[in-house]
Chain A
C-alpha cells in the first residue's frame, strides 16, 4: 500500500506541473520597464513557482516515505466514489455551466427558472413544490438584487 501510487503523489505532481507551467509562461514577461528594473513582473511568480515545485517534491517524498496512517487518513479523492454519486456532481456542474453560458442570452429570469427547476428535480423535490420554490427564489432574488440593490441582472431575448 505504502509504496503504491497514492494521492500524495498526485498532489505533488500537480504542484510540480503548476510550477512548471508558470515558469514557462513568465519567460515571455518583460524584464521590468522604464525606471523599474529591479524586479520585473516575473520576479514574484517565479519565486512562488519554485517554492511550489519544491513543496511538490516534498509531497511526493512524503507519499513514498511518509507514515502509512498519515497517508491513509486522507481518503483518496477517488476512493469510495460511486458512479451514481459522481453523476450528481456532473449534473450540478453541467447546470452551473448552462447558467453561465445561457444567462446573457436567455436573461436572468428564464435561465434561473430552468436552473432551479432542474436542481430541485435532481434533489428530489416534487413537481408542485418545485415550481413554487423556483418562483419564490426568483422573486426574492429579483427583489433584493434588482429592486433594492439596483444590480442590473442580465436581460435576455424574452425578459
Chain B
C-alpha cells in the first residue's frame, strides 16, 4: 500500500503526465513510435528516482499505443505498428459517420485491456514467464503460421486474392540480410535493401497514402471539412456496446497479454491475432471489415494488454519482451538496479510501484485519451484538401524519422501506388502487411528449428505446446466445414 501512495508525489506525477501527453503525439503521428519516445526519455530520467523514469516509460507506452488508433480510424493512417489492425473496421465505421464512436470504443477498450494486462502481470507473472520460456523456435513457428492463417480469415472478398497479397508480403520480408545464414538477399550492392524493407513505411503507404491518392484522384469534396459534426459520444450507448462485448474484450485482452509475454512477439502481432480470433468466434463474422464494433474492440484491447505482457519476462527474468522493455532493462542499470530475476524478489517495493503506476496510468489514459481525441478532432474542421497535404508531409517526414533514411520515404510512395492499384483490383491490403510482419517469424523459426534438429521436422509436432498450436491451426481451418456438418446434422435431427 505504501508503494501505491508513493507514486503520487509531484516529482513522479509531473514527468509521468508529461510523458503520457507526449505519448498522444507519438501515437497520433505516423512514423513516431513508442520505442523512439522511450529512447529519448531514458537519458532524461537518469537523475530522477527510478519510479519516475519507469512511470514515464509505462505512461508513454500506453498512451501512444492507444493514440495510434485515432489517425487509423479517421485518416486510415496507422499511427503505430500496433494499430495496423485498427484501420480495418475503425476506418469503415468512420466512413459510416461513426468515427467518434469507434475512437471512444478504442479508448475504453484500451484502458480495460491495459488494466487486464497489468492485473495479469501482478497476479500470474512468474507462472506465465516460466510458460513463455518453454517457447522456442518450434512453437514460434506455429504461432507465426497461426497468425498468417488469420490473413485468410481477415480478408474480405476473394480468398485467392487474399493469399496472393499475403505471399507477396512474405516475399517482401525476405529482402535483406538473412538471419540464418547472414546472406544479403535481393540486395546486390544496394546497401538500403540490405537492411530490408521496414514495415512501418509499407503500412503508411499501403493504407494512408493510397487513400490520399484515391481522394486526389477523384478530387471530390475538396473544399468541405472532413467532418461537419462535432465529435461526441453518448456514454449511454457505449455501456450497451461494452456489455454485449464483454466476453470479446476479456478474450482479446487475455490473448494480448499472453502474446505480449512471449519474448518473440509483441503488440502488433497480438492485435492481428485477436482480430482474427474475434472474427472466428463472432456470431456475425460477415460484418468484419465493414465497420463491425467487434472488429474495433478486439485489436485495441489486445494491443494495450500486450504492454502489460511485455513487462512479464522483463520483470521476472530480466529478458526483454519487446524493444521498449529492452531499453528499460538498460535504463534500470543507470538507476542502480540490477535487472533480472533478483528484481522481482529483491526490489519488491519498486515492483509494487511499477504495478501501481501501470494501474493508475489507465485512469490517466482515460482522461488524456479523451482530451487527445478532442484535440485531434479540431483537425477535421479544416477542408479535406488541407488535411490531405498534411497527411502526405507527415507521412513522409515520419517515415524518414524511423531510421533517418530517405529510402523509406521512397518505400511509402511505392506502396502508396501499389495500395491504390491493389484496391482498384479488389485485392485486400491487410494480408500483405500481415505477411511482412510474420514472414521473418515463420522463416527464421522454421529454418533455425531445422538446424537444431539436424533437419528433422518431428520436434515441430512432438512437443506438447507445438502440437497444441498445430491442433489449434487445424481446428481453425476445419471450423467452417465442421460447423456446417453440425448445423446440417442438427437440422436433420430436428426434422425427424
Contacts and interface: CB of A to CB of B under 8 A. Distances in A.
Direct contact of A and B (CB under 8 A): yes
Interface of A: 7, 10-11, 15, 18, 22, 25-26, 29-30, 32-33, 35-36, 38-41, 43-45, 48-49, 51-52, 55-56, 58-59, 62, 70, 73-77, 85-86, 88-89, 92-93, 96-97, 99-100, 103-104, 108, 112, 115-116, 119-120, 122-125, 133, 137, 141, 144-145, 148-154
A74 B426 contact: yes
Interface string B384-401: 011011101110111011
Contact of B25 (A73, A103, A144): A144
Contact of B167 (A25, A52, A76, A89): A52
A85 B215 CA distance: 10
Interface in B25-55: 25, 29, 32, 36-37, 40
B170 interface: yes
Contact of A93 (B36, B390, B398, B417): B417
Interface residues of B, number: 65
A100 B413 contact: yes
Contacts of B228: none
Interface stretch (B114-122, B218-226, B261-269, B353-361): B218-226
B393 A25 contact: no
Contact of A38 (B164, B183, B425, B450): B450
A38 to B, nearest CB: 5
A122 B212 CA distance: 13
A48 B173 CA distance: 11
A148 to B, nearest CB: 8
B451 A59 contact: no
A17 to B, nearest CB: 12
Contact of B424 (A52, A75, A120, A122): A75
B8 interface: no
A123 B413 contact: no
24 contacts: A11-B161, A11-B425, A26-B185, A30-B183, A36-B451, A38-B451, A39-B450, A40-B183, A44-B443, A44-B447, A45-B174, A59-B161, A85-B217, A86-B217, A92-B213, A93-B417, A96-B392, A100-B406, A116-B389, A123-B389, A124-B222, A133-B386, A137-B393, A153-B400
A55 B40 CA distance: 46
A137 to B, nearest CB: 6
* Most A C-beta atoms less than 10 A away, residue of B170, B389, B417, B424: B389
A85 B406 CA distance: 28
B475 interface: no
B186 interface: yes
> Top 8 nearest A-B pairs by Cβ distance?
A74-B426, A123-B385, A41-B183, A41-B178, A151-B401, A96-B413, A119-B389, A77-B424
Contacts of A115: 393
B29 A48 contact: no
Interface string B143-171: 00000000000000010110110011011
A36 B163 contact: no
A58 B385 contact: no
Contacts, number: 168
Contacts of A62: 160
Nearest to A70: B158
Contacts of A30: 181, 183
Contacts of B406: 100, 103-104, 154
Given A55-B167, A75-B424, A141-B394, A41 B185 contact: yes
A137 B391 CA distance: 10
A38 B424 contact: no
A15 B222 contact: no
A124 B385 contact: yes
A48 B385 contact: no
B496 interface: no
A108 to B, nearest CB: 8
A127 B427 CA distance: 39
B401 A41 contact: no
B340 interface: no
Given A38-B454, A41-B181, A124-B385, A152 B404 contact: yes
Given A38-B450, A48-B171, 20 more contacts: A15-B164, A38-B454, A39-B180, A41-B180, A41-B181, A45-B171, A51-B167, A52-B168, A59-B164, A73-B426, A76-B424, A89-B217, A92-B216, A96-B396, A104-B406, A116-B389, A124-B385, A141-B397, A144-B25, A148-B25
Contact of B393 (A49, A97, A116): A116
Nearest to B417: A93
A26 B398 CA distance: 33
Nearest to A50: B167
B285 interface: no
* Most A C-beta atoms less than 10 A away, residue of B37, B160, B406: B160
Given A41-B178, A141-B394, A150-B40, A120 B386 contact: yes
* Most A C-beta atoms less than 10 A away, residue of B180, B397, B401: B397
Contacts of B212: 92
A116 B391 CA distance: 11
B100 to A, nearest CB: 24
A42 to B, nearest CB: 8
B363 interface: no
Nearest to A25: B186
Contacts of A75: 424
A144 B287 CA distance: 38
Contact of B174 (A38, A44, A119): A44
B160 A145 contact: no
B421 interface: yes
Contacts of A108: 397
A99 B186 CA distance: 26
Contacts of A55: 160, 163-164, 167
Nearest to A73: B426
A52 B160 CA distance: 11
